[in-house]
C-alpha cells in the first residue's frame, strides 16, 4: 500500500551539541525511518535543526516555515516534549503529525519505536484516527504593552521564585473577579496538559475532546481554593499583586520574568494541532497504560 501523504517531514529528537554518541544513535533511527517512508512512496524532507544536530544526510533540510507550507504530514520521533514543540509550530499550518515514541511516557507520541513499521504502514495508506488538540494563546501585558507572546499546548503556569515565598494573584475570567489567591503559583491547563503539571498539582483528567481548561492552584494558602474547570472560549487574566522573582512559563519552556502589576492574558488560540493515531486508538487505553491502571487485578 502506497502512502496517501506525498510530502512527509521528519522531526528528530537529538541531544545538545557535543553529545556525539547520542546524536549518532538518533541519526541511525532517523535513517531507518526515512528509508521506510521512501519505500512507501513518500518524498521525505528533514527539519533543519535535526539535520544540523544529527548529521543525517541524503534528504532536503527545511526550516519550520517551509515544512508548514510544503508538507502534508510530519513524523515526530522523540517524546512528548518534542511533540509539544513541533505541534505548537505546525498548528498554524494545519500539518498532521504522527508521533513515534523515543521518550518515556508517550501520552501523545503513541507508536512504539520497536514496532513503528507495522503501525505506520496502514496510517500512511489512510487508515488512522484523527485527533485535534486545542492550544492557548498567552500574552504578558505590562502597563498596557505586550512584552511576551506565546502559544501553549499543555499549560500556562505562573510560579513563585525559587527562594521566595508565596505569590499573590488576582484572577479574572471574562472580566469578572474570581479570587485573589495566595499560593506557590497557578496552572491553566488544556485537556492535553491535564496529564502533566496540572495532574501533579491535584487537577482532574480531561478528555481531549472537551472544549475546556482547568485552573489549578499550586499549594494554595487557603485550602478551599480548588481546581475549577472553565469553558475554553473564556479569557483568563492573572495579575501579579505580590511576590518576588515570579515568572510565567508556557509549556514549561518559554519563560517570562514578571513584575508587580503584570497581567497574563490567556485565550483560546485560533489554531489546533492535528494528531494522527493508529486505527482503534483510544484515549482511555492510553490512560490505562501510562498511568498503570488495573495493574495487579
**Which residue in 32, 63, 65, 80 is the catalytic one?**
80
Class (C level, CATH) for 7-126: alpha beta
pLDDT digits (tens, 9 = 90+) for 211-234: 999 999 999 999 889 999 999 999
- Does residue 187 have a pLDDT over 80? yes
66 vs 47: CA distance, rounded Å:
9
Average pLDDT, rounded, for the chain: 92
Q: Find cell 502589576 and name the residue.
A: 261
Q: Which CATH class is domain 135-270?
A: mainly beta
Do 74 and 98 meet the contact criterion of CB atoms below 8 Å apart? yes
CA 24 to chain centre: 26
Single out the residue of 246, 271, 244 nearest to residue 256, CA to CA.
Answer: 246
Nearest Cα to Cα of residue 64 among 44, 87, 80, 31: 87
Residue spans of the domains in the chain: they are 7-126, 135-270
262 part of the active site: no
- Average pLDDT estimate for 162-180: 93
Q: Which residue has the cell 515526530?
A: 76
Residue 50 is predicted with a pLDDT of 93
pLDDT digits (tens, 9 = 90+) for 268-282: 999 999 999 999 999
Q: State the helix-helix crossing angle for 20-39 and 116-124, rounded to 10 degrees.
A: 40
Amino acid at each position: 500500500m502506497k502512502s496517501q501523504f506525498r510530502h512527509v517531514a521528519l522531526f528528530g529528537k537529538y541531544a545538545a551539541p557535543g553529545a556525539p554518541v547520542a546524536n549518532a544513535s538518533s541519526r541511525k533511527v532517523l535513517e531507518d525511518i526515512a528509508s521506510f517512508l521512501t519505500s512507501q512512496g513518500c518524498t521525505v524532507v528533514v527539519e533543519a535543526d535535526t539535520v544540523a544536530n544529527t548529521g543525517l544526510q541524503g534528504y532536503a533540510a527545511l526550516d519550520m516555515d517551509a515544512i508548514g507550507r510544503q508538507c502534508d504530514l510530519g513524523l515526530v520521533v522523540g517524546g512528548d516534549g518534542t511533540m509539544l514543540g513541533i505541534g505548537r509550530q505546525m498548528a498554524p499550518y494545519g500539518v498532521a503529525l504522527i508521533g513515534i515514541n523515543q521518550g518515556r511516557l508517550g501520552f501523545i507520541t503513541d507508536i512504539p519505536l520497536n514496532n513503528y513499521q507495522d503501525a505506520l504502514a496502514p496510517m500512511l495508506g489512510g487508515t488512522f484516527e484523527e485527533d485535534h488538540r486545542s492550544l492557548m494563546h498567552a500574552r504578558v501585558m505590562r502597563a498596557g504593552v505586550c512584552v511576551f507572546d506565546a502559544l501553549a499546548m499543555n499549560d500556562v503556569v505562573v510560579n513563585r521564585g525559587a527562594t521566595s515565598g508565596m505569590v499573590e494573584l488576582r484572577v479574572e475570567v471574562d472580566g469578572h473577579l474570581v479570587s485573589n489567591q495566595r499560593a506557590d503559583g497557578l496552572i491553566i491547563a488544556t485537556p492535553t496538559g491535564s496529564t502533566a503539571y496540572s495532574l501533579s498539582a491535584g487537577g482532574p483528567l480531561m478528555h481531549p475532546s472537551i472544549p475546556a481548561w482547568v485552573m489549578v492552584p499550586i499549594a494554595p494558602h487557603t485550602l478551599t481554593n480548588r481546581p475549577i474547570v472553565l469553558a475554553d472560549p473564556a479569557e483568563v487574566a492573572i495579575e501579579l499583586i505580590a511576590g518576588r522573582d515570579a515568572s510565567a512559563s508556557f509549556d514549561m519552556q518559554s519563560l517570562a520574568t514578571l513584575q508587580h502589576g503584570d497581567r497574563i492574558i490567556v485565550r483560546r488560540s485560533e489554531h489546533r494541532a492535528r494528531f494522527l493515531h493508529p486505527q482503534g486508538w483510544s484515549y482511555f487505553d492510553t490512560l490505562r497504560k501510562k498511568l498503570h491502571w488495573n495493574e495487579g487485578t
